[in-house]
């Protein structure tokens, strides 16, 4: 086996120095000459018809260059009024209705941001308020106010969203019904049946960098957009559709991002900025305030009804999941979220009879979209909580209960496909060992009788978007240095560095000789997306293939020079030489000079990697790889206050192969912290459709003191046959199981079961009160 | 033969609308956040040792961030102190000596330009003045002050500058000695021998956009430079050498340029800006004032001794040229200029005995470099003037004399190689016809007896840089639109448009579906240079090859789908179909979907075109194509004042094939105007080494009233076997023969021969006076 030189090394991020010195440029640092600043007028009501919009006073304000309202977009031949990644249910600004508090109604581009802001105050809008609905289940009930009369599908959508359909005249945005075995027979065969309801609230992605877009039309029919996006190609494709342009005439540029977490995947400000730029005939920039970020995209609130039938020995016989997801006022990517949530809603268990019914509903709230885990954390919260409820009832160790039911080699998924190579058992064993599972947890301060400790476990399985495409291009310069072109956006995860490591390894050149050009649709080959933990796996393979293309070309150039076959050429240290050592090596530069006789040669290598919905065996493949992991939490609960402190958190992921172990551990740490936040404090609070905590004072995020002293990231290397060097993605693994692991540990500590997230001190306190004073 | 759809069409420039509305971004429009503004302290004396530089007072000025002097660069391991495209005779700032008025001595980077400017005033420099020399011949004389004690060669230079060497301890920067036949025998066999001396002065390129460079170091070992450069790859390669970086770690970006004319080919501000940025740890911008542009690069002043032996019937038997070129204080690309000047110094004539001795001398003046025509206009001034002197003496029509001696098919050049396909005769005939050659020129206003009219001709031949490399990359997007990546800088010549026309033609897609990404070394494949009229020929071919690569890939994808051979696939209208019409076509998008089953496919096609110093026949090839042209001028001279007005100017170029006839004619018009300026008014005036007219008030350029009403551009289509569709370059063709054509017309009008450029009214007046009052 080949020894790797840079793969598996914990090298620092290429951009570290720029980042820590504050020199790295983010989009807000970009100052285009002549750029206008735009501000958005947003709906103050949750649901209303718009009677009139009067911009006359605003237009008089000196410095105002363009105002965009429905007047501009309805019937404008330059662009479509409706768009969206799956359904065309969004409009550039509101047309006849507003559907949530924060819905864009108009936008002003002015020479200064404060002028644009002032102009907003001068725009008069008359609304006719309509009844509104704020809960997914209520929205689907008979007689609920309907947000969209009719929703048009996008003509050419994503490959993995087939079968998704809204139901016109209702708020049912999407539904999914999966089953395996015979659920009724399963329940009949069960010794005990458990039924619980689990809820999780909307939450914020909390990227440090807010959404920004700068749009510029150059000449006729050429649009450039700089935007904080994880998916520049998706944005390009959508803008090309909306503005009726060839793909080559839309350029979307994403710089390094200050976090994404799913919030920067689909169009946000880009169509609006472009429409304003077209009207103003000048570049237009929009940067959201923090409040507006909160009003732009959230995580799906969920209510999950879970019913599980088990044998007394712990074998799970049947599981039924009914999922209600609240997608807010517009579908955005919600239908895919509901789909991914449903696939693994029964958990990583081999259950003969399963039924999943998933409902996605429009409500008059902020649109919900992708959020680290893509709907899986909601269903994981349910099934991993219920596992412990069952274990406690059956008096079986929760770890044993899981081990007994885990998916194993060749287990059949709810989709009917066999699953292979899932290192669930190893992940579970490792996290359990890391927190000394089986050893009773004791508070350090035994003098304080109000403190109690407990331990909890959870595991997870998650799909990645399939099928999908990543492509990479490499230019080998004549001095043996290389430029790598990838569509992957570096959102802080370190993709530039890991992809450069792969190029370095494959081309046998020093890492510091690789330059990465990233996420610019004019300059990099197509990549579907930086999301779904897919980049290392997909783009990593594309980089390998591109490098292989380069190596082949080098070998073909060198073979006649050395008078050996191309397969006899060894490439190492920026040199080509015959394998038999009969002749000294030639540097690539010298080789080019020998073959071409002149300076200025560069080779291009191209790599295309695509995944399929079919396994090699011919069977269905829902996911090109499965994210597998487990978490174990030790918590300390204060019986006096209900306050929960996570003392230790172990998180294991099946990474396939850790290409950069440091980054893998950082990913797991970061995910764990978000997971702890979602478990204990994060939630968006709405009152009659009004979000009342749209800022970081009122929206609680984990502070340094909330982070456990001991976060133990564990990397399980279980090589994937298709991943680069066996690697898989791990970006969402640590977060997903945190809430149930913590809830399970809380029950272990103080005997109460919390089924609603977040697990606030108040909820724990009240639950303890209820437990101690039984009502009956 | 294939009918072309967009080739040969006079489409408008892609960027026209942006240009005429002022929205096109030039480098000065780029505002980097945190950028410092730099100013350069320049030598006030022509030649001196530097005793001391005291920057203490300057450093105290608030806002000054970094000051660069020789202290910083001598012995600095981060970069080389000496550099240059051929010789390493330049330094980032002066070390022990200054060599011309304007030589950079120190530079200051500050938060504002005015602060940097003020800081310059506070820098104290003590000079020990040295004797200086301002004339090339004087500089080569015994005892002249020597500028450079020893000049180091650049380790890896250009492919075409072999044999170039300076002579240490002298001012001889380069010399060239070419010969053919036996020059002495030639003169012995001549009936008459003519000897003349022709001079031409230094001149300015007069680009509207001044030189600008912005340099930024990102992290360790990564340098980005935005610069007004025609040769981004040459600048990249030199910066990589100077700063010891891999090629992938230097990025040079050139935006659309506001003119180049040879002035923006080699490093100007880039090394200095980068050294300052490294010291300041912030980006640094430098923009030259117009005075500084004049102090940065000029056209070579020349003195040419020409001796021609002829038979009485007009046949030229021998020609001897002794050329002195003044390259100023630093070699820059001077040695190549002297080489190119020498190759065609005897003119486009088939002369059996030729000797050319060319000397390039350092002097204490502004460095001279490339200037439209690369040294050829200086020698053309000499030989085309002498042709008319001979014709007049032999009483032969100047056109007949030329026809009699022109190079013909298979004529041997001075380099010994046979020449083919030169449409000299056609060019000459066409320009002559255009001004009604043979018909006596008469002033329109016959009442004014002081006015006289005359006609004159000139022809030219010029090499292009050989060997050289251009490469192009094309991305075909799935909707059939394409992105074209070329290193060619669009300097106003329209390269983006013409290269897009070629891509459009070859890919059979609409022109407006082609996007061009240009002149950025991170993003585009290697290209030697945008100069030497080479881009259409070289890059045009590279684009054709890249498109061919794409077509092959498409045919290979489509063949199995249609179950025919790849050669049976026809690609048209963004569709693939079988040639026999048996099946309906598939759009590329549908084809990709059929083959790959998923969205997001893009194909990359790569084209590399290189020229060689060997013809296919095995014989030497000095030039991959020869620029061929002729000009005819009709002038009106005022006998009272010596004022010359060009009434008509016809200019013909052998363009091979006019890919965009509009652009070809624009090139010829633009060149004609510059040529008329050089003929009649342009010159840099030095007094003791001090340039006294470094601005557009004192340096005369043609104004609108100086431009002839009738400029007649004539395109001769004489297809070149290697050019795209037969095209050749034409950028320098109209300019070169203008001065001799005009001088010849003046002699035809008033009987005086001017041998020194520019032909000012004063010179004509004095010559007429001398002629009317013979001294003997």
Annotate B80-102 with DSSP letters as a single string. Answer: -SEE-SSB--EESS-SSEE-STT
Is residue A2 scored above 70 in pLDDT?
no
Residues of A with Cβ-Cβ distance to B601 under 8 angstroms? 469, 526, 608
Reported as type and span, the H/E element at residue A285 is strand A284-287
Is residue A776 scored above 60 in pLDDT?
no
What confidence category does residue A220 fall into, taking pLDDT thresholds of 50, 70 and 90?
low
- The pLDDT of A84-93, averaged and rounded, is 97
- Distances in whole angstroms, Cα of residue B693 to Cα of each of A401, A625, B295, B366, B686: 92, 72, 10, 13, 8
Is residue A370 scored above 90 in pLDDT?
yes
Determine the distance in angstroms separating the CA of B467 from the nearest CA of chain A, rounded to an integer: 8
Task: Report the distance separating Cα B634 and Cα B453, nearest Å.
Answer: 7
Instruction: Determine whether the interchain pair B469/A606 forms a contact, defined as Cβ–Cβ distance below 8 Å.
Output: no
**Entry pTM:** 0.96
Q: Which residue of A has its CA nearest to B249?
A: A515
With a pLDDT cut of 90, the percent of chain A lying above it is 92
What confidence category does residue A327 fall into, taking pLDDT thresholds of 50, 70 and 90?
very high
Best residue of A247, A256, A527 to probe chain B, by most B CBs closer than 10 Å: A247
Instruction: Determine whether the interchain pair A606/B604 forms a contact, defined as Cβ–Cβ distance below 8 Å.
Output: yes
Determine the distance in angstroms separating the CA of B500 from the nearest CA of chain A, rounded to an integer: 12
Rg (CA), chain B: 27
Task: Report the distance separating Cα A635 and Cα B489, nearest Å.
Answer: 64
Q: Sort residue A771 into left (φ over 0), alpha (ψ -120 to 50) or beta.
A: alpha
pLDDT at B1: 41
Q: Which residue of B237, B471, B515 is in closest CB contact with A249? A: B515
Best residue of B18, B85, B162, B219 to probe chain A, by most A CBs closer than 10 Å: B219
Determine the distance in angstroms separating the CA of B278 from the nearest CA of chain A, rounded to an integer: 13
Best residue of A486, A598, A621 to probe chain B, by most B CBs closer than 10 Å: A598
- The pLDDT of A461-484, averaged and rounded, is 96
With a pLDDT cut of 70, the percent of chain B lying above it is 99
Instruction: Determine whether the interchain pair B598/A33 forms a contact, defined as Cβ–Cβ distance below 8 Å.
Output: no
Residues of B with Cβ-Cβ distance to A219 under 8 angstroms? 14-18
- The pLDDT of B455-461, averaged and rounded, is 98
Is residue A169 scored above 80 in pLDDT?
yes
Instruction: Determine whether the interchain pair A600/B526 forms a contact, defined as Cβ–Cβ distance below 8 Å.
Output: yes
Q: What tokens does A609 get? A: 């990697």
Q: Which residue of B15, B156, B471 is in closest CB contact with A602? A: B471
Is residue B656 scored above 70 in pLDDT?
yes
CA torsion sign, A547 to A548 to A549 to A553?
Answer: positive
- The pLDDT of B667-679, averaged and rounded, is 97
What confidence category does residue A775 fall into, taking pLDDT thresholds of 50, 70 and 90?
low
Instruction: Determine whether the interchain pair A515/B526 forms a contact, defined as Cβ–Cβ distance below 8 Å.
Output: no
Task: Report the distance separating Cα A46 and Cα A451, nearest Å.
Answer: 44
List beta partners, residue B633: B456, B649
What confidence category does residue B256 fall into, taking pLDDT thresholds of 50, 70 and 90?
very high
Q: Are A501 and A631 in contact (CB under 8 A)?
A: no
Residues of A with Cβ-Cβ distance to B33 under 8 angstroms? 25, 29-31
Residues of A with Cβ-Cβ distance to B513 under 8 angstroms? 246, 248-249
Instruction: Determine whether the interchain pair B218/A601 forms a contact, defined as Cβ–Cβ distance below 8 Å.
Output: no
The CB density around residue A20, as the number of other CB atoms within 10 Å, is: 10
What is the tens place of the pLDDT at every residue in B278-291? 999 999 999 999 99
- The pLDDT of A492-514, averaged and rounded, is 96
Determine the distance in angstroms separating the CA of B263 from the nearest CA of chain A, rounded to an integer: 22
Task: Report the distance separating Cα B723 and Cα A16, nearest Å.
Answer: 48
What is the tens place of the pLDDT at every residue in A610-669? 999 999 889 999 999 999 999 999 999 999 999 999 999 999 999 999 999 999 999 999
Instruction: Determine whether the interchain pair A523/B528 forms a contact, defined as Cβ–Cβ distance below 8 Å.
Output: no
What is the tens place of the pLDDT at every residue in B407-416? 999 999 999 9
Q: Which residue of A has its CA nearest to B241?
A: A479
Residues of A with Cβ-Cβ distance to B233 under 8 angstroms? 600
Task: Report the distance separating Cα A173 and Cα A151, nearest Å.
Answer: 9
Residues of B with Cβ-Cβ distance to A610 under 8 angstroms? 596-598, 600
What is the tens place of the pLDDT at every residue in B87-105? 999 999 999 999 999 999 9
- The string of DSSP codes covering A425-480 is HHHHHHHHHHTTTTSPP--S-TT-TTEEEEEEEEEEEE----S-EEEEEEEE-TTS
Is residue A4 scored above 80 in pLDDT?
no
Residue A310, burial from CB neighbour count under 10 angstroms (0-12, 13-18, 19+): buried
- Distances in whole angstroms, Cα of residue A60 to Cα of each of A108, A111, A281, A429: 12, 14, 19, 69
Q: Which residue of B has its CA nearest to A467?
A: B598
A vs B, Cβ pairs < 8 A, gives 173
Q: Which residue of A17, A237, A598 is in closest CB contact with B220? A: A17
What is the tens place of the pLDDT at every residue in B541-574? 999 999 999 999 999 999 999 999 999 999 998 9
Determine the distance in angstroms separating the CA of A226 from the nearest CA of chain B, rounded to an integer: 15
What confidence category does residue B220 fall into, taking pLDDT thresholds of 50, 70 and 90?
low
Residue B536, helix vs strand vs coil: helix
Residues of B with Cβ-Cβ distance to A600 under 8 angstroms? 233, 468-469, 471, 526-528, 610
What is the tens place of the pLDDT at every residue in B320-371? 999 999 999 999 999 999 999 999 999 999 999 999 999 999 999 999 999 9
Task: Report the distance separating Cα B580 and Cα A163, nearest Å.
Answer: 39
Residue B136: φ, ψ to 5°: -60, -45
What is the tens place of the pLDDT at every residue in B599-608? 999 999 999 9
Determine the distance in angstroms separating the CA of B150 from the nearest CA of chain A, rounded to an integer: 27
- The pLDDT of A128-144, averaged and rounded, is 98
Instruction: Determine whether the interchain pair B604/A525 forms a contact, defined as Cβ–Cβ distance below 8 Å.
Output: yes
- The string of DSSP codes covering B546-596 is HHHHHHHHHHHHHHHHHTS-GGGEEEETTEEEETT--S--EEHHHHHHHHH
Q: Which residue of A has its CA nearest to B593?
A: A159
Q: Tokens 């101690």 belong to which residue? A: A772
Q: Which residue of B156, B515, B601 is in closest CB contact with A248? A: B515
Determine the distance in angstroms separating the CA of B85 from the nearest CA of chain A, rounded to an integer: 14
With a pLDDT cut of 90, the percent of chain B lying above it is 92
Is residue A572 scored above 80 in pLDDT?
yes
Q: Which residue of B has its CA nearest to A158?
A: B599
Best residue of A219, A476, A624 to probe chain B, by most B CBs closer than 10 Å: A219
- The pLDDT of A354-376, averaged and rounded, is 97
Best residue of A26, A546, A599 to probe chain B, by most B CBs closer than 10 Å: A599
Determine the distance in angstroms separating the CA of A446 from the nearest CA of chain B, rounded to an integer: 51
Task: Report the distance separating Cα A427 and Cα A431, nearest Å.
Answer: 6
Mean pLDDT in chain A? 95
Is residue A1 scored above 80 in pLDDT?
no
ipTM: 0.94
Q: Which residue of B has its CA nearest to A515?
A: B248
Residue B697, helix vs strand vs coil: coil
Determine the distance in angstroms separating the CA of A499 from the nearest CA of chain B, rounded to an integer: 15
Is residue A322 scored above 90 in pLDDT?
yes
Instruction: Determine whether the interchain pair B468/A525 forms a contact, defined as Cβ–Cβ distance below 8 Å.
Output: no
What confidence category does residue B60 fall into, taking pLDDT thresholds of 50, 70 and 90?
very high
Q: Which residue of B233, B514, B604 is in closest CB contact with A248? A: B514
Determine the distance in angstroms separating the CA of A382 from the nearest CA of chain B, rounded to an integer: 34
Task: Report the distance separating Cα A512 and Cα A518, nearest Å.
Answer: 16
Instruction: Determine whether the interchain pair A248/B602 forms a contact, defined as Cβ–Cβ distance below 8 Å.
Output: no
Instruction: Determine whether the interchain pair B473/A604 forms a contact, defined as Cβ–Cβ distance below 8 Å.
Output: yes
What is the tens place of the pLDDT at every residue in B289-321? 999 999 999 999 999 999 999 999 999 999 999
Residues of B with Cβ-Cβ distance to A526 under 8 angstroms? 478, 600-602
């Amino acid at each position: 086996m080949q020894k790797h030189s840079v793969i598996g090394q914990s090298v620092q991020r290429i951009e570290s120095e720029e980042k820590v010195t504050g020199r790295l440029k983010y989009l807000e640092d970009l100052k285009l000459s002549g750029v206008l600043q735009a501000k958005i007028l947003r709906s103050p009501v949750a649901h209303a018809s718009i009677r009139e919009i009067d911009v006359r006073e605003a237009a008089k304000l000196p410095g105002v260059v363009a105002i965009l309202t429905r007047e501009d977009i309805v019937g404008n031949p330059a662009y479509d009024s409706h768009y969206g990644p799956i359904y065309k249910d969004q409009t550039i600004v509101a047309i006849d209705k507003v559907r949530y508090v924060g819905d864009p109604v108009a936008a002003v581009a002015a020479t200064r941001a404060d002028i644009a802001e002032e102009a907003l105050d001068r725009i008069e809008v008359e609304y006719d308020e309509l009844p509104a609905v704020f809960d997914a289940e209520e929205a689907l009930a008979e007689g609920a106010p309907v947000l969209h009369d009719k929703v048009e599908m996008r003509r050419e959508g994503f490959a993995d969203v087939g079968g998704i359909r809204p139901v016109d005249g209702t708020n049912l945005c999407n539904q999914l019904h999966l089953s395996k075995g015979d659920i009724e027979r399963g329940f009949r065969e069960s010794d005990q049946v458990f039924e619980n309801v689990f809820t999780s609230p909307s939450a914020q992605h909390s990227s440090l960098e807010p959404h920004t877009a700068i749009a510029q039309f150059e000449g006729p029919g050429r649009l450039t957009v700089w935007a904080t996006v994880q998916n520049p190609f998706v944005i390009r494709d959508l803008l090309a559709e909306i503005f009726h342009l060839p793909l080559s005439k839309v350029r979307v540029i994403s710089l390094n991002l200050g976090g994404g977490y799913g919030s920067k995947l689909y169009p946000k400000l880009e169509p609006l900025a472009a429409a304003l730029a077209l009207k103003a005939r000048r570049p237009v920039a929009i940067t959201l305030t923090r409040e507006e970020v909160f009003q732009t995209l959230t995580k799906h609130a969920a209510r999950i009804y879970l019913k599980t039938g088990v044998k007394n020995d712990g074998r799970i016989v049947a599981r039924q999941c009914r999922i209600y997801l609240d997608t807010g006022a517009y579908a955005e990517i919600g239908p895919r979220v509901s789909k991914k949530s449903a696939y693994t809603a029964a958990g990583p268990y081999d259950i003969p009879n399963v039924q999943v019914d998933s409902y996605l509903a429009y409500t008059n709230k902020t649109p919900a979209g992708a959020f680290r885990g893509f709907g899986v954390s909601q269903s994981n919260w349910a099934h991993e909580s219920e596992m412990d409820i069952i274990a406690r009832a059956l008096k079986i160790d929760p770890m044993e209960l899981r081990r007994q039911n885990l998916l194993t080699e060749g287990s059949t998924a709810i989709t009917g496909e066999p699953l292979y190579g899932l290192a669930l058992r190893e992940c579970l064993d490792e996290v359990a060992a890391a927190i000394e599972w089986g050893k009773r947890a004791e508070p350090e301060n035994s003098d304080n009788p109000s403190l109690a400790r407990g331990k909890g476990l959870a595991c997870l399985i998650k799909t990645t978007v399939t099928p999908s495409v990543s492509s990479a291009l490499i230019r080998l310069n004549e001095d043996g240095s290389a430029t790598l072109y990838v569509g992957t956006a570096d959102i802080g995860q370190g993709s530039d560095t890991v992809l450069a490591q792969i190029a370095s390894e494959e081309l046998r050149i020093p890492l510091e000789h690789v330059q990465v050009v990233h996420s610019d649709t004019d300059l990099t080959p197509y990549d579907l997306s930086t999301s779904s933990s897919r980049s290392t796996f997909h783009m990593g393979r594309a980089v390998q293939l591109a490098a292989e293309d380069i190596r082949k070309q080098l070998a073909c150039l060198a073979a006649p020079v050395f008078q050996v076959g191309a397969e006899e050429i060894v490439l190492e240290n920026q040199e080509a030489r015959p394998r038999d050592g009969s002749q000294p090596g030639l540097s690539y530069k010298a080789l080019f000079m020998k073959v071409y006789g002149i300076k200025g040669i560069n080779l291009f290598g191209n790599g295309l990697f695509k995944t399929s919905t079919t396994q090699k065996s011919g069977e269905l493949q829902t996911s090109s790889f499965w994210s597998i992991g487990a978490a174990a939490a030790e918590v300390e609960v204060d019986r006096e206050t209900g306050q929960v402190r996570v003392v230790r958190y172990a998180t294991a992921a099946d990474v396939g192969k850790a290409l950069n172990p440091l980054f893998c551990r950082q990913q797991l740490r970061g995910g764990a912290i978000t997971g702890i936040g979602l478990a204990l404090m994060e939630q968006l609070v709405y009152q009659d459709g009004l979000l009342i905590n749209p800022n970081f004072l009122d929206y609680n995020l984990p502070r340094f003191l909330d982070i456990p002293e001991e976060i133990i990231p564990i990397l399980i290397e279980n090589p994937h046959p298709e991943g680069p060097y066996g690697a898989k993605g791990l970006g969402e693994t640590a977060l997903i199981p945190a809430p149930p692991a913590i809830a399970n540990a809380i029950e272990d500590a103080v005997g109460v079961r919390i089924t609603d997230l977040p697990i606030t001190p108040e909820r724990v306190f009240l639950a303890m009160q209820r437990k101690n004073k039984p009502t009956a």
